[in-house]
């Protein structure tokens, strides 16, 4: 993900935003770096002005960004399902505002539903079930909000219902109780830090604190490095800052002998080429991230290759640890409980739909991606 935050402000009590769950408390309002402004027109007459990478939710509960929309797409809105009448890029770049919510990940932007990624939560959940003790440092989402995602992933229950319905609460308590009693599992430690303020020294202090308490940490997950602050004086440009942070995290990894995992995002050029073409040179802000990392994988939609709608492809583009580079595979994900499954677990993914009540729809046959991309650009 990008370092999109230029300034941020913590909201006091009484600041809420509308969502499909009702009114949700807003924790932070962030001023972003400039994004290209898109205008989306709906058949109802509703209009949305947003960033090119603003994420919306379609009728199948899949994420789609504004620059991926095409005429006729059906989007979940506050008033129901609405069809895209037209969408176009203005060519103007503006600073915009984003929000960080408490205890939830969906909200309505001018009546249209949006959400963020849950990949790191799945990574941590798997490591915990393998007996590892994991630290998750969050610079964007509250500890409670992350905990809600883990409750849903571990229980396989619908994240939108687990705290609202009594029957679902009882199921959640039972499933988490069974998980807690399970032998051989690890523990998860979620630590929230202020956006744009945390340094590697803050992480070191927390790891040392856990060691004093007799807790051995096996992996450190940072969400995400672009929102950190370098512990040393920097030149003030994004390339140097992000490169320094990457090197500091790698040094911490060697110091404590634990892997450190984080995420970033592709630059604009990388977002406009095919998944087959993309590699680590398209990582946003600083090539220093890829140069410093021992392992890099890139995630993408791979729409022309998808068998089911809920698929996320990945490609290994760098690997100092051994193994092949260029390997492409995919995850399957559940839109209701946010859990991800690898390609060897497709049968389990199918079976778990009976618990979450999510759909397992076949993907629609896609047109040639080059022609489809040209058609989409012609409507912008």
| Better-predicted residue by pLDDT, 225 or 200 | 200
For 312-340, write each residue's pLDDT tens digit: 888 899 998 887 888 889 999 887 888 99
> Do 17 and 101 contact (CB within 8 A), yes or no?
yes
Please report the pLDDT score of residue 337 as a whole number.
87
Please report the pLDDT score of residue 28 as a whole number.
63
How many CB atoms within 10 Å of residue 112? 22
- Topology adopted by domain 5-116: Endonuclease - Pi-scei; Chain A, domain 1 (2.170.16)
What is the rounded CA–CA span in Å between residue 177 and residue 160?
20
- pLDDT band for position 369 (cuts 50, 70, 90): very low
Domain ranges of the chain: 5-116, 119-356
For 341-360, write each residue's pLDDT tens digit: 999 999 999 999 999 888 88
Please report the pLDDT score of residue 375 as a whole number.
33
Angle at 354 between CA 352 and CA 355, to 5 degrees: 70
Please report the pLDDT score of residue 202 as a whole number.
95
Closest CA to 378 of 100, 86, 166, 97: 86
| DSSP symbol at 363 | P
Q: Which residue has the tokens 């984003």?
A: 98
H/E element, 221: strand 219-223
- pLDDT band for position 165 (cuts 50, 70, 90): confident
- Topology adopted by domain 119-356: Rossmann fold (3.40.50)
For 213-248, write each residue's pLDDT tens digit: 999 999 999 988 888 888 877 666 666 788 889 999
For 29-75, write each residue's pLDDT tens digit: 667 778 888 888 887 667 788 888 888 888 777 778 888 998 989 88
- pLDDT band for position 18 (cuts 50, 70, 90): low
Q: What is the mean pLDDT of residues 6-22?
A: 59
Evaluated on CA atoms 236, 116, 8, 199, the torsion sign reads negative
Ramachandran assignment for 156, one of left (phi > 0), alpha (psi -120 to 50 degrees), beta (any other) = left
- pLDDT band for position 16 (cuts 50, 70, 90): low
Please report the pLDDT score of residue 221 as a whole number.
95
Cβ-based neighbours of 354, under 8 Å, separated by 6 or more? none
Q: Give 154: exposed, middle or buried? Use CB within 10 Å, 0-12, 13-18, 19+.
A: buried
Q: Which residue has the tokens 């076949």?
A: 362
**DSSP state letters, 97-142:** EEEEESS-SEEEETTEEEE---HHHHHHHHHHHTT--EEEEESSS-
């Amino acid at each position: 993900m990008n370092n999109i935050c230029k300034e941020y402000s913590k909201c006091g009590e009484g600041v809420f935003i509308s969502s499909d769950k009702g009114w949700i408390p807003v924790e932070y309002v962030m001023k972003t770096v400039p994004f290209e402004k898109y205008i989306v027109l709906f058949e109802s007459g509703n209009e949305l002005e947003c960033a090119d990478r603003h994420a919306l939710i379609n009728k199948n509960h899949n994420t789609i960004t504004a620059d991926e929309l095409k005429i006729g797409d059906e989007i979940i809105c506050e008033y129901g399902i609405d069809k895209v009448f037209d969408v176009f890029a203005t060519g103007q770049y503006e600073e915009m505002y984003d929000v960080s919510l408490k205890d939830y990940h969906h909200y309505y932007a001018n009546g249209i539903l949006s959400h963020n990624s849950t990949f790191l939560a799945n990574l941590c959940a798997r490591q915990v079930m393998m007996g590892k003790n994991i630290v998750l440092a969050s610079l964007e989402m509250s500890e409670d909000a992350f905990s809600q995602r883990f409750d849903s992933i571990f229980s396989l229950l619908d994240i939108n219902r687990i705290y609202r319905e009594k029957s679902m609460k009882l199921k959640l308590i039972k499933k988490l109780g069974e998980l807690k009693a399970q032998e051989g599992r690890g523990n998860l430690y979620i630590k929230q830090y202020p956006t744009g303020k945390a340094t590697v020294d803050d992480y070191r202090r927390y790891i040392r604190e856990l060691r004093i308490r007799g807790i051995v940490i096996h992996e450190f997950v940072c969400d995400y490095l672009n929102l950190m602050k370098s512990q040393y004086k920097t030149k003030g440009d994004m390339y140097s800052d992000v490169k320094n942070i990457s090197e500091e995290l790698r040094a911490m990894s060697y110091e404590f002998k634990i892997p450190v995992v984080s995420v970033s995002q592709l630059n604009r050029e990388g977002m406009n080429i095919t998944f087959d073409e993309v590699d680590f040179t398209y990582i946003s802000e600083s090539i220093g991230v890829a140069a410093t990392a021992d392992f890099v994988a890139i995630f993408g939609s791979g729409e022309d290759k998808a068998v089911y709608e809920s698929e996320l492809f990945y490609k290994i583009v760098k690997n100092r640890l051994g193994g092949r580079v260029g390997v492409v595979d995919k995850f399957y994900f559940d839109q209701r409980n946010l859990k991800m499954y690898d390609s060897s677990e497709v049968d389990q993914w199918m079976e778990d739909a009976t618990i979450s009540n999510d759909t397992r729809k076949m993907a629609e046959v896609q047109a040639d991606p080059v022609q489809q991309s040209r058609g989409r650009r012609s409507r912008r």
